[in-house]
């Protein structure tokens, strides 16, 4: 930090959600959360789960922002905005807020913040809280599903001329949060750095499919039939890694894994509407035997042709291992005969 440079003040609020994004954030490493904030010159004014202040002390922090005594540079919201019943926001009131709803507090502070950041898919698009009949009238900050709107409206622009910056995920990757906050705090983020849903392109440009440990099975359409199988989970088990934004398999969670490497299909939690796929998460809907959810940008005819050729060329090793819970057939070299033969190398 340059000598005398003012730290950027960050206020974190939690609304309609499970707190999972904060739990994920605490797992940030290389660097950890505290080091990341210090490196980005960010001062955490208050966080409902990580800060010591409660009750009246918190209300004083809010009042200092209202009165201009404390500049609010970054407002982060985790969880969806609860607008019910009938748009009053009274389903979620501010503790000690003298009748103030969280909905109104978020709207007020968003108007005072230099930049607003939605942490997680709930805050960005509504997420799990909006599933079903959405009796609580939940929404995102500037989206309801994939439709612009939300609490702040689809035309919201910050003092930095940016829309709400949406960090997707359920929960979101800790590095996505720390890197995005650093980018925002540096005031170098431009509209071109965000995609059509307000997500940083550093997050949304890769697909979950990129770097997947099961890509060899995918290439040959050697498909798993049940969750414990090693094969590709797109054809039968609902995996949407070829359609979902995120570098989950290139930048492993906690340095070691992802949903797919853990044996569960990608459910596209970085995308609006993932919470209601219209089918079980572990089922791939099909029409005439062809998966409905095809890889991004791939025409159906191409997929059918590619899948047919790939299946015809599937090596025995992949075909058998795909429906097994462990590697049963080991790779072999063409230069050597199988054990038990008299000659070491094959003929030319």
Close Cβ partners of 200 (under 8 Å, ≥ 6 residues apart): 165, 167, 176, 179, 180, 183, 189, 193, 194
Q: What pLDDT is attached to residue 341?
A: 55
Of 85, 90, 79, 80, whose CA–CA distance to 135 is shortest?
A: 85
Average pLDDT, integer, range 96-112? 94
- Whether the CB-CB separation of 244 and 203 falls below 8 Å is answered with no
Mean pLDDT of the chain: 91
Of 180, 130, 179, 169, whose CA–CA distance to 151 is shortest?
A: 130
- Alpha helices, H only, 227-315: 300-312
Continuous segment of H or E residues that includes residue 339: none
Average pLDDT, integer, range 208-235? 94
Of 126, 113, 45, 123, whose CA–CA distance to 77 is shortest?
A: 123
Burial, 327: exposed, middle or buried (Cβ in 10 Å; 0-12, 13-18, 19+)?
exposed
Strand partners, 16: 80
Q: What pLDDT is attached to residue 144?
A: 96
pLDDT, one tens digit per residue, over 33-77 is: 999 999 999 999 999 999 999 999 999 999 999 999 999 999 999
Number of H helices, E strands in the chain: 10, 11
What is the three-class DSSP state of 124?
Answer: helix
Residue 215 predicted with pLDDT over 60:
yes
pLDDT, one tens digit per residue, over 242-280 is: 999 999 999 988 888 899 999 999 999 999 999 999 999
- Helices 55-66 and 102-112: crossing angle in degrees, nearest 10, is 40
Of 247, 88, 92, 257, whose CA–CA distance to 179 is shortest?
A: 247
This model's pTM is above 0.95: no
Average pLDDT, integer, range 82-111? 95
Burial, 56: exposed, middle or buried (Cβ in 10 Å; 0-12, 13-18, 19+)?
exposed
* φ, ψ dihedrals at 184, nearest 5°: -65, -45
- Whether the CB-CB separation of 137 and 108 falls below 8 Å is answered with no
151-155, 254-258, 338-342: least confident range: 338-342
- For β-strands 286-287 and 74-78, DSSP reports them as unpaired
94-108, 113-127, 302-316: least confident range: 302-316
Of 43, 53, 41, whose CA–CA distance to 11 is shortest?
A: 43
């Amino acid at each position: 930090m340059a000598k005398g440079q003012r730290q950027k003040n960050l206020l974190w609020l939690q609304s309609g959600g499970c707190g999972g994004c904060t739990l994920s954030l605490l797992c940030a490493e290389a660097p950890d959360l505290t080091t990341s904030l210090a490196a980005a010159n960010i001062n955490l004014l208050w966080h409902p789960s990580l800060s010591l202040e409660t009750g009246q002390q918190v209300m004083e922090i809010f009042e200092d922002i209202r009165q201009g005594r404390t500049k609010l540079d970054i407002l982060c919201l985790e969880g969806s905005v609860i607008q019910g019943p009938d748009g009053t926001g009274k389903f979620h009131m501010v503790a000690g807020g003298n009748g103030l709803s969280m909905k109104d507090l978020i709207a007020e502070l968003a108007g005072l913040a230099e930049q607003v950041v939605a942490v997680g898919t709930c805050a960005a698009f509504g997420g799990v809280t909006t599933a079903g009949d959405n009796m609580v009238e939940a929404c995102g900050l500037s989206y309801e599903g994939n439709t612009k709107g939300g609490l702040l409206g689809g035309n919201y622009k910050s003092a930095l001329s940016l829309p709400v910056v949406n960090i997707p995920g359920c929960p979101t990757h800790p590095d996505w949060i720390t890197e995005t906050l650093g980018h925002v705090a540096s005031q170098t983020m431009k509209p071109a750095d965000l995609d059509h849903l307000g997500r940083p392109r550093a997050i949304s440009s890769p697909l979950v499919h990129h770097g997947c440990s099961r890509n060899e099975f995918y290439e040959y359409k050697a498909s798993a039939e049940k969750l414990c199988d090693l094969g590709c989970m797109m054809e039968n088990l609902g995996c949407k890694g070829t359609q979902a934004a995120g570098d989950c398999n290139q930048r492993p969670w906690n340095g070691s894994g992802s949903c797919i490497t853990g044996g569960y299909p990608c459910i596209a939690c970085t995308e609006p509407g993932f919470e209601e796929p219209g089918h079980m998460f572990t089922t791939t809907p099909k029409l005439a035997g062809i998966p409905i959810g095809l890889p991004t940008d791939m025409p159906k005819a191409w997929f059918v042709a590619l899948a047919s050729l790939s299946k015809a060329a599937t090596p025995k090793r992949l075909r058998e291992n795909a429906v097994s819970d462990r590697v049963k057939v080991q790779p072999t070299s063409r230069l050597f005969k199988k054990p038990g033969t008299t000659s070491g190398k094959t003929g030319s």
